Amino acid sequence: MGKEDQSAFRCWKCGEEIHVVGAQAGYPVGCPHCQAWAVVPEELFRPLNGAIITGEEGGAGGSALAVLSLMFGVLSWLPVGFFFSPVAIILGAIAESRGSTLGGWGIILGIIGLLLLIVWVIVGYLLFQAFNSAFNL
């Protein structure tokens, strides 16, 4: 573990320093002084490019989740893609919480997929009504 993978922040309750490592970013830790729980700020380990330094190879895994979120977001635009919208939104939110900026795009695509679902339902209903009136059913 390098020195760049270590940092400290102040406890919200007692104000004492809590020393942490990059792998703890975004997770709760106990204050060694007052035993209060605090979430380690991810900003402590986020360099200018926005990636979180975790000390582990492969980072925090947000990029892979973001790509999956984008894929499910695009699939949610299909007429039967309403199954994919919630998955795209959830994966995008997780990816974004892990520091990936692409996660937000997955969320947006998933929401557009849900809106398209409403359009597909309305179009289907109108076609059904037109078919019934054309054939007097």
* Domain limits for position 72: 62-134
Residue 57 has pLDDT above 50, yes or no: no
Question: Which pLDDT tens digit goes with each residue over 103-135?
Answer: 888 889 889 988 988 888 899 999 999 999 888
Q: Mark whether 76 and 122 lie in a shared domain.
A: yes
Rounded Cα gap, residues 72 and 110, in angstroms: 7
Burial class (CB in 10 A: 0-12, 13-18, 19+), 132: exposed
Q: How confident is the model at residue 91 (pLDDT cuts 50, 70, 90)?
A: confident
pLDDT at residue number 79: 76
Percent with pLDDT over 70 in the chain = 84
Q: Mark whether 39 and 67 lie in a shared domain.
A: no
Amino acid at 132: N
Number of domains present in the structure of the chain? 2
Q: Mark whether 8 and 36 lie in a shared domain.
A: yes
